Amino acid sequence: MNFKAFLFDPKVTAGIAAAGFSTPTPIQTQAIPRILQGRDLMGLAQTGTGKTAAFVLPILQRLLNGKRGLTRALVIVPTRELADQIHQAFGLLGGRTGLRSATVYGGVGFQPQVTALRNADIAVACPGRLLDHIGRRTVDLSHLEVLVLDEADQMFDMGFLPDIRKILTHLPALRQNLMFSATMPAQIQGLAGEILKKPVRVQVAQEAPAATVSHALYPVARHLKTALLLKLLGSMRAEAVLVFTRTKHRARQLAAKLGKAGLASASLQGNLSQAQRRDAMNGFKSGKYSVLVATDIAARGIDVSNISHVINFDMPATPEIYIHRIGRTGRAERCGEAFNLITEEDRAIVAAIQRSMDTPAEERTLPDFNYLAPVAGAKTPHTPRNVKKRNRRRSGGNQTPRDGRGAFAWLAPRNAKASAVPSS
């Protein structure tokens, strides 16, 4: 099958050619015909499967007919980065249509958005700033024909559902509704029931990590994680590596340490201004930065096709977040790798993630890395002579257990694969 089967207008077809698309992905094959028919739709697809174009192309086709300069399509997203990505997709795929899109999110000037919205056919918005515009009456949604909620599960995770329900009260009742999500928790099922009318459900993959990504576990003590990360990065032959941390402070601190070690790195986290976030993203895309250290704000909306590795410096809180993180690699049927630096405290989440995979992640150790190095600056406690003698008797004369791994036995499992150079 190719895109000609959808009978798009030549202006839309020109955009498809400009984007270099030839064969539709499974989500596009299943979703586009239903959307063109005017049906409400619930789309379940992992990141990197082409779902943005699955709704962008039918919207462009629909808006070609009708009055211009009225906001007739609204796409609600959880993050600024995803808003920019979708806005760019409308610009690329709709380059010959004359249709205009505008982005609406916080962290940037309000008035330029007001100006852009006056002539926009499509608004791509984050919930909070959109409510600001609605409250100030600087956006007119009375002509809306299509509503898209993209990454609905992430919006729930970020606490946006109350804002979305407020926005819905300001929209025309008669409209087409599209929801897309990588996972389908109960709360999203409930929201779908409220918004969608007799929807068709399209699901192209199970709620599991993408098959194009391989996974590896690197057990390590917490105080050695940075050292192990540097060792891994130094062994790789990778153009672009995305490293995830749990907090904004750690992302900023870790990027600075990598920079001091000679790696071209930047951080992407919520304390940055929009200009700084854009600089980090553009630098990562262009190759100025080979390593981007990010919080989960970057788990959605990063469309960088050459990311070869995702490294979880800190493990995520849920398997669903893990899916979103590693979805940044292995995109468009390319192969990618996910490396996970795990501590003893991560056992529960690792087990939950393993259950979501068809093949368990491989455990690895680096043979030339000192996993038993003490905490820097820590003093070795004095052990009384009588305690030493007792310990030697209990261990058969040796101060360390017979397997040589001591209290860190869990760090180097017997079945772990020693890997001097990570695959790349």
5-19, 99-113, 278-292, 377-391: segment of lowest average pLDDT: 377-391
CATH class, domain 3-203, is alpha beta
Q: Is 209 in contact with 340 (CB distance < 8 Å)?
A: no
CA of residue 376 relative to chain centroid, distance = 34
Give tens-digit pLDDT for 100-146.
999 999 989 999 999 999 999 999 999 999 999 999 999 999 999 99
For residue 90, what pLDDT band results from cuts at 50, 70 and 90? very high
Segments in 64-160 forming alpha helices (H):
80-93, 111-118, 127-136, 152-157
Instruction: Give the count of beta carbons closer than 10 Å to the beta carbon of residue 250.
Output: 18
Place of tokens 């909070």: 128
Q: Is 181 in contact with 152 (CB distance < 8 Å)?
A: yes
> Is the pLDDT at 87 greater than 90, yes or no?
yes
88-92, 96-100, 328-332, 420-424: segment of lowest average pLDDT: 420-424
Q: Is 123 in contact with 143 (CB distance < 8 Å)?
A: no
Q: Is 299 helix (H, G, I), strand (E, B) or coil?
A: coil
16-25, 151-160, 208-217: segment of lowest average pLDDT: 208-217
Give tens-digit pLDDT for 28-37.
999 999 999 9
> Is the pLDDT at 395 greater than 50, yes or no?
no
Pair of tokens at residue 330: 């292995």
Q: Going edge to edge, which strands form the sheet with 417-418?
A: 265-268, 291-294, 240-244, 307-312, 336-342, 213-219, 362-365, 417-418
DSSP 54: H
Q: Do domains 3-203 and 213-418 have the same CATH topology?
A: yes
DSSP-based helix, strand, coil % in the chain, nearest 5: 40, 15, 40
Rounded to 5 degrees, what are φ and ψ at 379?
-90, 140
Give tens-digit pLDDT for 302-356.
667 788 899 999 998 878 788 878 877 866 556 788 999 999 899 889 988 888 7
Instruction: Give the count of beta carbons closer than 10 Å to the beta carbon of residue 147.
Output: 22
Q: Where are the domains of the chain?
A: 3-203, 213-418
Find the length of the chain.
Answer: 424
Tell me the pairing of strands 417-418 and 362-365.
Answer: parallel
CATH topology of domain 213-418: Rossmann fold (3.40.50)
Distance between CA atoms of residues 378 and 122, nearest Å: 58
pTM score, whole prediction: 0.66
Q: Is 30 in contact with 60 (CB distance < 8 Å)?
A: no
Pair of tokens at residue 83: 């808003």
